[in-house]
Chain A
Amino acid sequence: MKRWFVVSTAVFTVACSVLAAMPAAAQTAGTYTPPRTREGQPDLQGVWQALNTAAWDIQDHGASLGVPAGRGVVDGNAIPYTPTALAKKQENFKNRDALDPINKCFLPGVPRVTYLPYPFQIVQQADRIAILHEYSRIIRFIYMNGNPHPAGKIDWYMGDSRGRWDGNTLVVDVTHFNDETWFDRAGNFHSDALHVVERFTRTGPDHMLYEVTVEDPKVFTRPWKMSMPLYRRQEKDIELLEYECGAYLLKQEWEKPDSALLR
């Protein structure tokens, strides 16, 4: 696989810039040295997007109406739920169309926001990184100003993100979550004890490896990991447009006499 990749890459890169063809297995944090920002940090800036089916199901899954089949992004595919939590996950899955919190257009949490099928833009400053998401115009700040996580307990949808550089890798420690978001449409969930560590590593001019360690002693018996490549959007004049989820939903629900949401 790797050899196939090395041989074909040279031709492939020159021939076309079709992102989706990049084999995920080649996405290991390797030796690529990214350019630096004016402040001297590895430059992760630009418009990126995940190209996978993790927003529907982070595990291996077959297709169903409106849901493409997909390879999972979880290392080893299994998620180490406690027995009680596994029962809840299965219940969530059964009722996913009704229960998925994203139906309400609320903030989707971390890491789900990263692999929603919408582009996002990374903007770096010396002591802060902003991730601007097209989805609901969400803005996520990662602080690198030396402040630790503020004293809790805080219930935030997106948690509190504190970053640091590990070589060329951006490592983000995220805590202070609420229990109101899921990892995907398939009912994979967490509690307010969720602790996420993300690693963003450039693997090439147009690729970035995104690795996530998930820890939540109330729901999982041990930490587990997911990883996926992120792709730089190649379109000329690419820019974030607008997906105002809450506005469209409310507009649709407003006129419904039987709206379950507006009750």
Chain B
Amino acid sequence: MKEWLLTTLGTAAAVLLVLPITGRAAGGEPQAFYRPDTPKFPQARTWVAQKAKLPPYKAPRTPDGVPNLQGNWNGPVGGGNDDLEEHEFIDVTTPPQESYVSDPPDGKVPYTPWALAKRNEIRAGLGRGWPGEGSQRLYGDPNALCLVGMPRISFGAQEILQKPGAVILLTTNTYRVIPTDGRPHMSSDAKSFFGNSRGRWEGETLVVDVTGLNGETWFDSAGNFYGPNTHMIERWTMVDPNTIDYEITIEDPTLYTRPWKMNYPKRRAGTGPGANPLSTNAVGAAGRAPASDPYAKEFWEQTCTEGNHDNVVILKSLGFKWFNAVVAPK
């Protein structure tokens, strides 16, 4: 079994490896396979144009008088976050897709020259059989080792709960608690995968300021990265009863020439383009179960590390290195 895997993986490496694992980030979404003629998935460009035409919307309020974002929300609809920037068909798991980046308008991450070279170096070492790859394997997607961080956790589906002084995001196997009670940040010297989140309400919008990120995970599986000095600001705004406009600003003068933004809609489970109206659970392992199933809304145990041993051993034996946070030279 192991030998067969190694042989196959020598050629198809990351395609096979990454599949079961992107499932975690996507909250249990079954992996789709695409053809070269798959139409391009819309992301930021299409969404920015669409939302410009939406009438003003005032969300219902919670008993605490703040916008009520509670419910079960999908991540961005599309071919996954295999590559943040606009791209054509690359392989069966990477269909053509617009960029997630809404600002700058060209959809490119505004890396400094050094950071762009670094990103390209990482990409050339992905070992995925992508065009332009070098012969050396460098890093696998940290997500393939069950490492999840910001902002990729937001790319998946989640349930939003609100309590006095806090917004809580739940998935089948992890969570974020965002205090909205005005408490100060911890020192940003205290690094973590999810960082230190502080929320506040600005009219219709939940603004979440995230500091203390360790920079040890990526934005996507194609090597677009941030670092331990990166600061993220999320803006969650309901723009109709079933849509949250999710915008995140990324700031890090050591890696990017200017702050930049990603923007996409999160649709309430069972709504939005291509949704199954009978599916009431975007998050759970039973996410595709019809609403008539009494367990359809439950989140059942979803493991990652526990079943990932063979993937880890294979990635290591293929020569992939550990991805440590990238710090730009002074």
What residues make up the interface of A, taking CB atoms closer than 8 Å to B? 38, 45, 104-107, 121, 123, 125, 130, 132, 137-139, 141, 143, 145-147, 150, 156-158, 160, 237, 239-242, 244, 246-247, 250-251, 254-255, 262-263
Contact = CB atoms under 8 A, between A and B. Distances in A.
Contacts of A239: 177, 179
Contacts of A158: 301
Contacts of B146: 246-247, 250
- 9 tightest CB-CB pairs across the interface, nearest first? A242-B192, A246-B305, A156-B301, A254-B322, A237-B183, A137-B174, A106-B306, A132-B175, A139-B175
11 contacts: A123-B168, A125-B161, A137-B173, A143-B298, A147-B294, A147-B298, A157-B303, A160-B300, A242-B194, A246-B304, A255-B322
A255 to B, nearest CB: 7
Contacts of B306: 106-107, 157
Contact of B63 (A38, A141, A150, A254): A38
Contacts of A160: 300
A95 B75 CA distance: 45
Contacts of A157: 301, 303, 306
Given A123-B163, A247-B147, A263-B313, A130 B175 contact: yes
B65 to A, nearest CB: 14
B299 interface: yes
Nearest to B153: A137
Contacts of B303: 106-107, 157
Nearest to A246: B305
A137 B175 contact: yes
A146 B294 CA distance: 9
B145 interface: yes
A50 to B, nearest CB: 20
Contacts of B172: 139
Interface string B146-189: 11000000000000010100001011111101010001100000
B316 A262 contact: yes
A137 B63 CA distance: 28
B193 interface: yes
A247 B316 contact: no
A239 B184 CA distance: 12
A143 B298 CA distance: 8
A250 B170 contact: no
B312 interface: yes
Contacts of A244: 147, 192-193
Interface residues of B, number: 37
Interface in B200-250: 216
Contact of A141 (B145, B298, B305): B298
Interface string B285-311: 000000000110111110111100000
A141 B177 contact: no
Contacts of A145: 294, 297-298
A263 B316 CA distance: 10
A182 B47 CA distance: 50
Given A137-B174, A242-B192, A255-B322, A123 B161 contact: yes
Contacts of A38: 63
Contacts of A137: 173-175, 194
Given A123-B163, A240-B177, A251-B322, A105 B305 contact: yes
A130 B159 CA distance: 12
A163 to B, nearest CB: 13
B12 to A, nearest CB: 22
B228 to A, nearest CB: 14
A251 B163 CA distance: 35
B213 to A, nearest CB: 11
Contacts of A242: 192-194
Contact of B192 (A107, A150, A241): A241
A147 B295 contact: yes
Interface in B58-83: 63
Contacts of B193: 242, 244, 247
Contact of A254 (B168, B173, B299, B316): B316
A250 B147 CA distance: 10
A44 to B, nearest CB: 13
Interface string B29-67: 000000000000000000000000000000000010000
Interface in B129-157: 145-147
A169 to B, nearest CB: 22
B50 to A, nearest CB: 33
A262 B313 contact: yes
Nearest to A178: B306
Interface string B189-201: 0101110000000
A61 to B, nearest CB: 29
Nearest to A127: B297
Contact of A250 (B145, B175, B301): B145
A125 B192 CA distance: 28
Contacts of B216: 247
Given A247-B147, A247-B216, A250-B145, 16 more contacts: A106-B303, A106-B306, A107-B303, A123-B163, A130-B161, A137-B173, A139-B170, A139-B174, A139-B299, A141-B299, A145-B298, A147-B298, A240-B177, A244-B193, A250-B305, A251-B322
